[in-house]
């Protein structure tokens, strides 16, 4: 048995596939590809298929990591090619490699946010990102109850750039991700809206990469 990490690109209409449907899609693809999975032992055996950091609905990805445990001697290249032959439109296997880092090592994710342009909007967004105070509400847990928490998204941001292309504005930004601290691009946009007093409309949001604490790729 060995664990491999499958990186999935998710584009176009596939971005509206929910996390639960992605899990089902992956299991169907594995079965159709004839890949032998390792099953847990015990009363209710099940295959090990784990999405390290599920995507928010509506976000595209250039590399969504899925860990699977294999039996047999199939090479990583064979796994990649067989899966690609069975994947639905919009989902592509970018690579298959041996898993090195654990999902708990994830610290950040980098995003490209493309907005519809408007006069002066890029400057307003730049000022909001630089102000150090981007309040937002986030759903969290207090024990077993779900509660709304107040957060400052500026404290969950890393490096960023804002580029005004006229008809569009492109924000490239690193946001905290993982089990301890995380901020979605949608929470970021809500926080920006609250500061500038208007809601920017987005064309497309893409998660470019998942990163470790040292900003190396996961």
Tens digit of pLDDT for each residue in 159-175? Answer: 999 999 999 999 999 99
Three-state secondary structure string covering 12-52 = HHHHHCCHHHHHHHHHHHHHHHCCCECECCCCCCCECEEEC
Structural domains present in the chain? 2-100 (3.30.70.580), 106-212 (3.30.2350.10)
What pTM value is reported for the model?
Answer: 0.91
As a whole number of angstroms, the distance between CA 207 and CA 216 comes to: 15
pLDDT of the residue at 143: 67
pLDDT digits (tens, 9 = 90+) for 109-146: 999 999 999 999 999 999 999 999 999 988 777 667 77
- Strand-pairing partners, residue 39, are 47
Cα distances (angstroms) measured from residue 122 to each of 34, 48, 171: 50, 45, 9
CB of 19 within 8 A of CB of 54? yes
Answer for the pair 70, 57: CB distance below 8 angstroms, yes or no. no
Query: CA distances (Å), 185 to each of 89, 142, 204, in order?
Result: 25, 23, 11
In the chain, pLDDT over 70 holds for what percent of residues? 99
How many whole angstroms separate alpha carbon 31 and alpha carbon 86? Answer: 9
With 90 as the cut, is the pLDDT of residue 42 above it? no
DSSP class of 145: E
């Amino acid at each position: 048995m060995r664990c491999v990490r499958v990186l999935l690109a998710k584009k176009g209409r596939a971005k509206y596939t929910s996390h639960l449907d992605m899990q089902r899609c992956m299991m169907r693809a594995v079965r159709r590809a004839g890949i032998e999975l390792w099953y847990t032992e015990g009363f209710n055996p099940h295959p090990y298929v784990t999405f390290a950091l599920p995507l928010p609905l509506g976000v595209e990805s250039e590399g969504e990591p899925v860990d699977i445990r294999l039996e047999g001697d199939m090479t990583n290249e064979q796994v990649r090619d067989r899966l690609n032959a069975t994947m639905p439109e919009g989902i592509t296997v970018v690579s298959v490699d041996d898993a090195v880092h654990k999902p708990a090592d994830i610290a950040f994710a980098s995003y490209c946010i493309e907005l519809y342009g408007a006069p002066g909007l890029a400057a307003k967004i730049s000022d909001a990102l630089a102000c150090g105070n981007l309040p937002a509400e986030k759903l969290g847990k207090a024990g077993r109850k779900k509660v709304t928490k107040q957060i400052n998204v500026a404290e969950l941001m890393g490096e960023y750039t804002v580029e005004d292309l006229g008809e569009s504005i492109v924000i490239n930004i690193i946001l905290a991700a993982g089990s301890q601290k995380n901020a979605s691009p949608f929470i970021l946009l809500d926080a920006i809206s609250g500061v500038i007093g208007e809601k920017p409309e987005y064309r497309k949001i893409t998660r470019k990469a998942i990163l470790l604490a040292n900003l190396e790729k996961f």
